Structure 1
Amino acid sequence: MIAAWTAVDLLEYVATPEPRVMVTLHRDGDVSAAVTGGRLSWPVSAKPWPVEDLIRERMWWRQLSSSMTVVVLRNGTPPETAETVGSELVWNDLDIAVRWALDAEFLGVRPRSWWRDGVARLRAVFDSNSVRLRPDRQLLVTDEAAGTVASIP
C-alpha cells in the first residue's frame, strides 16, 4: 500500500513529460520510487521551502519509516532557485528519488518480510481500485529479491 501511495503521489504532484514512476522493492526491505524529467511548482506567496522538503511533506506515511531520503537533481546537480512563472515558483527537468526504510517494529512485522510476492501484491492493490492510477500514468515496479519486473498501466 505504501509503495502504491508513493507512486500515485509522485505522479500526481510532480508533472512529467512521460508520466511514469519506477518503484523498487529492495531486498533489504527498503522501498524507493523515482521520476525523471519532473516539474514541481509552488505558490510564490507561500513560505519558500527546499524542493526536497516540498516532496517529503506530501508523504504523510513517512512516519511509518525509520529513515527517509529525498534526492532532487537537475542535470546531475541539486537544482538552483526556481523560475518564477506567473504566481508560481517552478522547477523543471527534475530527477527525483525517494527511498525509505519502513519501521518493522512500529508496523509489527518481521524485518525484510513485507515484499514477499511484492509485484503481484502491488498489482492487486491497483486492480482492487483501493488506490487509483490514472489511465495515462504508468508504474514500473521491480522486486530485487525475486528478480521480478512488471509494468502496471
Structure 2
Amino acid sequence: MKTKILALTSIIVFTLICSINLYAQDPSDVGTPAFAPISSKTMTLKYGFKGASVYDTTLKKWQFLKMTTITRSKVEGFVNQINDNLALAAGIGTIAVYDFSKHRWIVYERVTVDDSTAMLDKNIILGKDYAIVKVLNGNFLKYTPQTGWYEFRKQ
C-alpha cells in the first residue's frame, strides 16, 4: 500500500513540475539557431529552432507556435516574412500565418514548404493581404483572411 501511495505521489509531483515548467516557458524564446527578429508597425516575428513567435502590439503579448523550422541561412527572409497584416512562418510539416486581424496563428499542417534555393522568391510569397506557398512535391497553398488556406495549381 505504501508503495502505491509513494508511486502515485511521485507521479502527481512530476506532473505538477512539468506543468509549471511549460507554463513558465518564455513564449518569445524560439531557440537557437534563430534568424534576426523582423518587425512591422503591428507585430514582431521571431523564427528559430523551436518554432515561431509573434509579438502582437494590440494584445501586448507573444503568441508562440511550436513547429519544425528550416534554419539554414539561405532561406532567411523567405520562410519568415512579415507585413502589417500577416506574418508567415513556413517549415517542415507546418506552414502558418499569424493573421493580425484575427490575432492568432492560422496553421496548415502535414505539408512542407518547397524551399528549393533557386525558387524561394517564387515558392514563398507574402503579399499585403495574402500568403502563397509552394508545397514540396505538390501544389500551391494560398491564405487570405476571407478564405483561410486553400490549395491551387499555379498556371
Greater percentage in helix: 1
TM-score by length of 1: 0.25
Determine which structure has greater relative contact order: mean sequence separation of CA pairs < 8 Å that are 6+ residues apart, divided by chain length: 1
